[in-house]
Amino acid sequence: MSEGFKTKSAPAKKSNPDQPKPQEVASMEAIQKSLVDNFGDIKDPRVERTKKHQLTDIVVIAILAVIGGAQGWEDMENYAISKQKWLEEFLALPNGIPSDDTFRRVFEFINPEEFNRCFLRWIETLVTKMGGEIIPIDGKTIRGSYDRNQGKSALHVISAWASEQNLVLAQMKVEDKSNEITAIPALLELLDITGSIITIDAMGTQTEIANKIIHKKADYVLALKANHPTLYHQVKQWFETASAQDFQGIDVSYDHRIEKGHHRTEIRQVWSVPVSALGEIYQPKIWAGLQSIVMVVRERRLWNKTTREIQFYLTSLHSDAQLLGRVIRKHWGIENQAHWTLDCTFAEDSCRIRSFHSPRNFALLRRIALNALNREQTYKRSLRQKMKRTGMDNDYMIRVLSSCFIDSTLDSSQPLCQA
């Protein structure tokens, strides 16, 4: 110890696979301009005398804070206070950091339709080619957004999800779950789905929706359940008879998959037949473009039990069990990669933001954050870890923003969103 501490030569640095790979990133000023270009058309809901902070500053801070893990208005204020020196490099902040009450009041009264149009315009810059994309559409209730004192039920929204690109394409509010039937066509109207495959659960299995999808030059795979009792029981009985006879003399396509993981084994069998193979069924012509009927049998084997489920589908695609099995499997991406993530990573269901337009606007902020974090691919960690890193590391936040707000390589010849 009398010799003191010796200075050792620094060992050669080993590469860390978790470290983001070197990648060109944009300046924060360029990102700020892109944010303003995409979200700057929102009308300021405040009266002139109360405008102590610029609306663009408030919106930009809110987006950055939610990407960094903010779950409420106080989180936004705390994020901005912690990052004030950095934020002052590219934001005006004429009166310092907005308070949590300022964030709350602004997002209570921002027009959610205007905010949604800005979101769609931003998505247009990210996704330009939709041919062959599988787009599940499904609804989600934000359970904590109810207000018992005001007699206000929880917010229910439907979303369209790009399964290959892991992006929320659009969001639309519905008053209650039964109104998905009228909301889905309105959601489809917002998107250019030409060449895509739309998947919807039984709630959306409606002739008007099938007609809308075909009219927009896309294909559909719709779950068939007992809400169409006559057709459902005819299809169920036909497949039971055909299966008992091993599909003898029937033009059938078959696919069989076995997957193992998470201490379970899942066996999926898919049979698809042309609609003409079923002979006389209940009003087949009312389903625009209907070409095939599909049966999927799923068997899940756990250590203590085995479950078996049979599901039927109507589709405008040709009878190809391998393709249809993949499309049906991809439908669950909106549940597993979007809705589950919003609940478990962004704590959406437990959020008690519920006044005026704030639940809908905050839901859109979460979907902006989800898309931004999914777009950044250099840091190979979980979404939760990527979120935490953006809150801790300004350089990584810039990298995330560069991936979704600055991208000069995109081909703009096929816009996603329609005017």
- How far apart, in Å, are the Cα atoms of 306 and each of 47, 258, 265, 348? 62, 14, 9, 32
Give yes or no for residue 385 having a pLDDT over 80.
Answer: yes
What's the CA gap between 194 and 197, in Å, rounded? 9
Say if residue 7's pLDDT is above 70: no
Q: What number is the average pLDDT over the span 321-327?
A: 97
74: amino acid identity, one letter: E
Angle at 259 between CA 370 and CA 162, to 5 degrees: 25
* Cβ partners under 8 Å of residue 285, min gap 6: none
Q: What is the CA 265 to chain-centroid distance, rounded? A: 27
For residues 277 and 250, is the Cβ–Cβ distance under 8 A? yes
Note whether 200 and 136 are within 8 A (CB).
yes
332 exposure class (CB count in 10 Å sphere: 0-12, 13-18, 19+): middle
Both tokens of 406, joined, read 């600055």
Contacts 24+ apart (CB under 8 A), 47-53: 52/94, 52/95, 52/98, 52/102, 53/93, 53/94, 53/95, 53/98, 53/102
Q: How confident is the model at residue 419 (pLDDT cuts 50, 70, 90)?
A: very low
Return d(Cα 369, Cα 192) in angstroms, integer. Answer: 23
Max CA distance (Å), the chain? 98
Distance separating alpha carbons of residues 399 and 198, to the nearest angstrom: 32
pLDDT digits (tens, 9 = 90+) for 115-170: 999 999 999 988 867 778 999 999 999 999 999 998 889 999 999 999 999 999 99
Q: What is the pLDDT of residues 166-212, one digit of tens each?
A: 999 999 999 765 578 999 999 999 999 999 999 999 999 999 999 99
Burial 86-118 (b: 16+ CB within 10 A, else e): ebeebbebeeebbbbebbbbbbbbbebeebbbb
Contact between residue 108 and residue 354 where contact means Cβ atoms under 8 Å apart? no
Contact assessment for residue 404 and residue 372, using Cβ atoms and an 8 Å cutoff: yes
- pLDDT at position 262: 79
Q: Note the pLDDT of residue 21.
A: 52
CA distance 57 to 92: 7
Query: For 169-234, what is the HEC assignment?
Result: EEEEEECCHHHHHHHHHHHHHCECCCCCEEEECHHHCCHHHHHHHHHCCCEEEEEECCCCHHHHHH
- Encode pLDDT of 325-380 as tens digits: 999 999 999 999 999 999 999 999 999 999 999 999 999 999 999 999 999 999 99
pLDDT score of 4 more than 70: no
CA distance 218 to 83: 46
Q: What is the mean pLDDT of residues 19-37?
A: 78
pLDDT in tens, 228-279: 999 999 999 999 999 999 999 999 999 999 998 878 899 999 999 999 999 9
**What are 333's two structure tokens?**
């991406």
Residue whose C-alpha is closest to residue 137's, from 191, 194, 182, 198 = 198
User: Which CATH number applies to 120-340: 3.40.50, 3.90.350, 3.30.450, 1.10.10?
Assistant: 3.90.350
The pLDDT of residue 16 is above 50: yes
Strands (E), 230-305: 253-261, 264-274, 292-301
Distance CA 287, CA 163 (A): 25
Given a contact cutoff of 8 angstroms between Cβ atoms, the answer to whether 308 and 299 are in contact is yes
The per-residue pLDDT for range 159-176, each reduced to its tens digit, is 999 999 999 999 999 976
CB 185 within 8 A of CB 122: no
pTM: 0.89
Domain boundaries, the chain: 28-111+357-405, 120-340
pLDDT of residue 232: 97
DSSP-derived secondary structure letter, 249: T
Average pLDDT, the chain: 90
Label residue 85 exposed, middle or buried (CB < 10 Å: 0-12, 13-18, 19+).
exposed
- Tell me the three-class secondary structure of 345-382, residue by residue: CCCCCCCCCCCCCHHHHHHHHHHHHHHHHHHCCCCCCC
Residue with tokens 């519905």: 174
